[in-house]
Amino acid sequence: MLTIVIPPQEFYRRKTRTFEYLTKEYTIRLEHSLISVSKWETIYKKPYITTKMNSREFVDYVKCMTINQDVPDLAYEALTVDDIKKISEYIDDPATATVIKDSSGKGRGSPETPTSELIYYWMITNNIPIEVCEKWRFNRLLTLLRICNAKGNPKKMGPQEILAQNALLNAERCKKYNTKG
């Protein structure tokens, strides 16, 4: 969880030539989780993972991440550059020591665009308890799903490996049955 404190302050609205006031300090408690991603995707109807967000979408995602209910919209307008940097770092933090690489040593992308519904599907097919893990840090949940995928799908053999295995099996059978093949 990330906590951001917004101090009281005033805002001048050029359009209406009026002042608005944030009269007290607000604490925003944020959780980057599947629930947050799902809320954001419900609003924007596009996949969170592959979307390059503009500033409005980012602030809306911060609102979706907020777990306390008493935060007015004006408080989100008061986020500083430093606050936004902290939030971005929190979102990007993998929150795990696990690193998953493919055989070439590089990460591999999914052929599908992962949406929150697809992630829920992966959780169901891997028997991951939704009510527990949907509140996990989002990056940690994705790491768990990658592990399930890696452990559940053994490495496929290439054509050369298949030929070598078949040759070995044939040699064993020839020896066992005393034949020449």
Residue 45 lies in a domain: yes
* pLDDT averaged per 10 residues, the chain (length 181): 94 87 93 94 93 95 95 93 96 80 52 80 89 86 87 74 82 83 67
Q: Which tokens belong to 135?
A: 């509140």
pLDDT score for 47: 93
Report the alpha-carbon distance of residue 12 to residue 51 in Å, rounded: 32
CA distances from 33 to 29, 79, 89, 136, 166 (A): 13, 21, 14, 6, 47
Assess if residue 130 is contained within a domain: no
Q: Say how far apart CA 29 and CA 5 lie, in whole Å.
A: 9
- Quick one: pLDDT at residue 158? 77
Report if residue 114 sits inside a domain.
no
Q: In sequence order, which residues have a C-beta less than 8 Å from that of residue 83 and are 6 or more positions away?
A: 4, 6
Parent domain of 79: 2-92
Number of folded domains that form the chain: 1
Q: For residue 42, tell me if it sits in a domain.
A: yes
DSSP string, 19-56: EEEE-S-EEEEE--SHHHHHHHHHHH-S-TTT----HH
pLDDT score, position 111: 62
Instruction: Check: pTM over 0.75? Answer yes or no.
Output: no
